[in-house]
Structure 1
Amino acid sequence: MHMMLIEGIDEPLMRSIRSRAAMYGRTPEEEVLTILDNVARRPGYRSFEEALLAMPNVGLDSDFERAD
């Protein structure tokens, strides 16, 4: 297993991590690993570019102009 050192975590963030960890019965380290795992391995993650390219073509701007 790999090891990672994260420096510069401010106190409010650390309190949030400790609070979440306590809520779920985990250590702060386990909570951070869970958060990272949920985000990094999230199924169906698409980049912003991929999301834009997946949008359907719904017409031209002029198709949506208000008719007087």
Structure 2
Amino acid sequence: MPDLIVRNLEPELIEALKQRAARNGKSAEMEHRTILREVLLAIKKRPLIEVLRTIPNVGSDADFERQQSTQQVPDVFV
């Protein structure tokens, strides 16, 4: 099986991984594999509608309507 080396991780990220691994009774390496598997394989299995439902409601369509400008564009930009 191929190896994966991840460099230049922030110390707090490594510490969080170690703590999560300890809570789950795993080594940091095994926990890292578990996280990668859960995240990367879960994306493939989730239906699009489920992903779309996780997007927060940020307003109505009217909030994003394009405003027509009445200003003239200077000749420099034409």
Q: TM-score range by the shorter chain?
A: 0.5 to 0.7
Which residue number corresponds to residue 66 of structure 1?
A: none
Alpha-carbon distance between aligned partners in 1 of 2:17 and 2:31, rounded to the nearest angstrom:
7
Runs of 4+ that moved beyond 4 A: none
SS state of the match for residue 41, structure 1? helix
When the two structures are aligned, how many residues end up with a matched partner?
50
Q: Percent identity?
A: 24
Q: Work out which of the two has the higher radius of gyration on C-alpha atoms and give 1 or 2.
A: 2
1:29 positional shift: 0.5
Alpha-carbon distance between aligned partners in 1 of 2:12 and 2:28, rounded to the nearest angstrom:
14
Amino acid at match of 2:46: G
Which residue number corresponds to residue 19 of structure 2?
A: 19
CA RMSD in angstroms comes to: 2.0
Alpha-carbon distance between aligned partners in 1 of 2:32 and 2:47, rounded to the nearest angstrom:
20
Long gaps (5+) in structure 2: 53-60, 63-78
| TM-score, normalised by the number of residues in structure 2 | 0.57
Instruction: Pick closer, same or farther for the CA change 1:45–1:9 going to 2, 3 Å.
Output: farther
Q: Taking CA–CA contacts closer than 8 Å with sequence separation of 6 or more, which of the two structures ends up with the larger relative contact order?
A: 1
Which residue number corresponds to residue 28 of structure 1?
A: 28
Mapping of 1:1-68 within 5 angstroms? 1-42=1-42, 43-44=45-46, 46=48, 51=52
Alpha-carbon distance between aligned partners in 2 of 1:5 and 1:39, rounded to the nearest angstrom:
18
